[in-house]
């Protein structure tokens, strides 16, 4: 089945996913943040340069695109999805329309975009996309997340997944427990377990084919404002434990989000998980955005296109090594 084949390609050894699906507003803000005029051409040029990094296909199996980007061209006039496919990289697409306030539940959000999703998926498949992403955001605070927030987001993730698979797209299921807050790692663990359990139960109800899907979860990390931060080793151990208890064994792979971690922490945590003798049935990989792009974007603004590609190539290589537990912090010098 093509869904299973593509899901396994995305988590093939030594490779992971580049999340380049920032919305037009977010990408413009990031360009402004490094002193670049946030025009449409600047967004296209930066991303085209990133995608054209020599040899990046050794570490990048797929690229998540935004609606604007999947319709754009490389510098030589080749459509972005066609260029990526020619490099052996699967094009993907963000299909949700954003997180909005959940009615009757202050401070909580529901991700929207189910209306018209089938039609959008058909169009994106015809444009070259072979996988998709939908992000739910779960906030930890006093009294939250509520059962309503967990239930609504789990149901939406399952419906999205079913529709994507119907249209030939591998769904990346992303229930992100945010790092904002003063909660400890134990609270992150319990909330992550709750949303994972609810999401996969909803997927079963909706008939989602798990061997043709991927999971993009957060790691088990204390909130940014928590006084007690745990070690890298403990992050890796608790994350694997939580996933082992709450994720189906027939899922092909887990592609972690970096979720506010530093570039090096995101790499180190993945590396540690791939050295632990837990024998998970899934591939442990990455679907990083800022943790792959931050240095590349800064170099693109202050240096040359080649400087930007070199910065991206370095971070991609580091995470590629982490896939097999072969990364070491001395390689960062």
- Which of the residues are catalytic? 174, 216
Q: Can you tell me whether residue 183 is helix, strand or coil?
A: coil
Residue 68: phi and psi, rounded to 5, are -65, -45
* Tokens describing residue 84: 């990526």
Q: Where are the alpha helices (DSSP H) in the chain?
A: 2-10, 24-33, 40-51, 67-70, 80-86, 117-127, 147-166, 185-205, 232-246, 263-273, 290-302, 305-322
Helix axes 185-205, 232-246, angle to 10 degrees: 30
Full DSSP string of 300-323: HHHS-HHHHHHHHHHHHHHHHHHT
Distance of alpha carbon 50 from the chain centroid: 17
Residue whose pair of structure tokens reads 């529901």 in the numeric block: 110
Contact 163, 120 (CB under 8 A): no
* Tokens describing residue 244: 């082992």
* Tokens describing residue 97: 């329309």
Q: How many other CB atoms are found less than 10 A from the CB of residue 305?
A: 17
* Tokens describing residue 197: 């359990």
Contact 6, 61 (CB under 8 A): no
* Tokens describing residue 275: 């050295």
End-to-end CA distance of the chain: 43
């Amino acid at each position: 089945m093509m869904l299973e084949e593509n899901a396994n390609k995305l988590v093939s050894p030594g490779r992971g996913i580049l999340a380049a699906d920032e919305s037009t507003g977010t990408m413009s803000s990031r360009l402004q943040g490094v002193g670049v005029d946030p025009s449409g051409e600047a967004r296209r040029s930066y991303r085209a340069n990133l995608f054209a990094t020599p040899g990046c296909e050794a570490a990048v199996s797929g690229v998540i695109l935004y609606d604007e980007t999947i319709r754009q061209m490389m510098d030589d006039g080749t459509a972005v999805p066609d260029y990526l496919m020619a490099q052996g990289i699967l094009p993907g697409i963000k299909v949700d329309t954003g997180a909005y306030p959940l009615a009757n539940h202050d401070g909580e959000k529901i991700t929207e975009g189910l209306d018209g999703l089938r039609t959008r998926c058909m169009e994106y498949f015809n444009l070259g996309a072979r996988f998709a992403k939908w992000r739910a955001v779960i906030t930890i605070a006093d009294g939250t997340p509520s059962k309503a927030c967990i239930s609504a987001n789990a149901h939406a993730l399952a419906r999205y997944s079913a529709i994507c698979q119907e249209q030939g797209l591998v769904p990346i299921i992303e229930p992100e427990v945010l790092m904002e807050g003063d909660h400890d790692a134990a609270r992150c663990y319990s909330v992550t377990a709750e949303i994972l359990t609810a999401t996969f139960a909803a997927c079963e109800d909706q008939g989602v084919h798990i061997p043709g899907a991927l999971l993009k979860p957060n790691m088990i990390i204390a909130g940014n404002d928590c006084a007690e931060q745990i070690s890298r080793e403990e992050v890796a151990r608790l994350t694997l434990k939580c996933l082992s208890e709450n994720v189906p064994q027939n899922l092909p792979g887990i592609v972690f989000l970096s979720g506010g971690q530093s570039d090096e922490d995101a790499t180190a945590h993945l590396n540690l998980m791939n050295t632990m003798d837990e024998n998970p049935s899934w591939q442990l990989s990455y679907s990083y955005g800022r943790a792959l792009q931050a240095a590349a974007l800064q170099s693109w603004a202050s240096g040359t296109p080649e400087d930007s590609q070199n910065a991206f190539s370095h971070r991609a290589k580091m995470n590629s090594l982490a896939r097999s537990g072969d990364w070491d912090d001395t390689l960062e010098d």
